[in-house]
Amino acid sequence: MEKIIEENKQGESLVLEHKTGNTKKLFIESYGCAMNFSDSEVVASILSENGFNTTQILEEADLVLVNTCSIRDKAEQTVRKRLEKYNAVKRSVNPKMKVGVLGCMAERLKSQFLEEEKIVDLVVGPDAYKDLPNLLQEVEAGNDAINVILSKDETYGDISPVRLHSNGVTAFVSITRGCDNMCTFCVVPFTRGRERSREPQSIMEEIADLSNRGFKEITLLGQNVDSYLWYGGGLKKDFVKATEFQKATAVDFAQLLEMVATGFPKMRIRFSTSNPQDMHESVLHVIAKYPNVCKHIHLPVQSGSDRILAAMNRLHTREEYIQLIDKINRIIPGCGITQDMISGFPTETEEDHQDTLSLMEHVKYGFGYMYAYSERPGTLAGRKMEDDVPEETKLRRLQEIVDLQRKHSAFRTQEFLGQTVEVLIEKTSKKSEEQFSGRNSQSITVVFPRENYKIGDFVNVKINSCTSGTLIGEAVGYSDMN
């Protein structure tokens, strides 16, 4: 659940520039978090080198891939429905079509998809995308193909991702894979493996390429970016076995963030997702020091109750989390802080729920991703804990969390009234062709009249009004970032 699920992006079919000479057609859809959408770009890049151009017409595809998520039951049900649709097209329209599942569901449901239900031709886990050309040869030969082996060192650092469906302004740059935090509700360590970090130079080269192509903002991406640690390769847990030289020359997240900030002073830098127990003060000082590092931290807490935090195996207490929040506010005044929250975790009482609400009152988050607990097979909670909070209680508590978050979001947007904020123009506003939309440093959406500006410009916008989620204003000139 350390993963941001953007509902408006779920199920996007992705498209990229066609490569001359490629004759096969790939249809690829993504579900889940930003990591999955980033991985789809890696997959498209690999397949582009192996004869595939993308299509958005399902019926004409030679290969259909769905990049999947196991974080919530809803995502799995949606993917199953899509697989039924693919197979209906395969039966009635395009019998030569091959269907494959990528990502987290692939690892967890491999035998079910291939052998029991026979709804896919190939299953590829998150660490095996480079094996896709070989697996496709197996499929062409009439065999089922599967590779869900989790790697100790694969980071795809040598693959330059194709930017699918990109606005040409913002891009994700993956810096870690896997996760070592065994939260009892989360399936990620079992589907994406143990944590390993990507070589800093390959990260800098990817960002340099993006900068040369006109991108203005990057998000450093990982299941847990704060525990980034490069010491020459290998799993983070094996750092204790590193040589003295490796330890002395290791690069942690604060150092990487500073390298990127100083190396690309005209690019905006964001990062996601943070884990409270791994966020060190050194990172906060880097954020405060460099104007191109956005003043926004997504800091999932999941619950405000110490008892529930312990049951979730969150390695922080309520008090430690509050101390971290207070430290952020002291070192980075005006920093935007956003949350993930789960209602109705096993054994949660009304008192535990009230602890969550009181924590929210203390922090007053700008935004949140809030869910009712959904038991995930394969997790410790799924194996060892009874899902004993009634569904109606979960949903009532969730609604109370959502209502309080809406109130706090409105409080946070109102703080900007009368201020002038820097905005990177990302797109035309959904509601009006006459307005542009972008985000301020705190990741709040800002809309304003287009005038003579263009997408990709950094502009200063004076805020005149707001809703609970959007700032509304007028541009008063270019910012120093241009």
Which positions make up the binding site for [4Fe-4S] cluster?
Answer: 33, 69, 104, 179, 183, 186
CA distance 428 to 134: 42
Q: Which tokens go with 401? A: 């969390």
Query: Between the CA of residue 322 and those of 297, 336, 362, 364, 454, what are the distances in Å?
Result: 14, 15, 8, 12, 41
The answer to whether residues 460 and 476 touch, using CB atoms and an 8 Å cutoff, is yes
Q: What does the DSSP 8-state code read for residue 93? A: T
Q: Which of 396, 415, 275, 389 is nearest to 340 (CA)?
A: 275
Sign, Cα dihedral of 156, 161, 167, 169: positive
> Position 350: which residue type?
E
Task: Give the other-Cβ count within 10 Å of 267's Cβ.
Answer: 20
Residues annotated as binding site? 33, 69, 104, 179, 183, 186
Q: Within 13 Å, how many C-alpha atoms sit on residue 296's CB side?
A: 24
Would you give the distance in Å from CA 209 to the centre of its chain? 21
Phi, psi of 402, deg, nearest 5: -65, -45
CA distance 350 to 328: 29
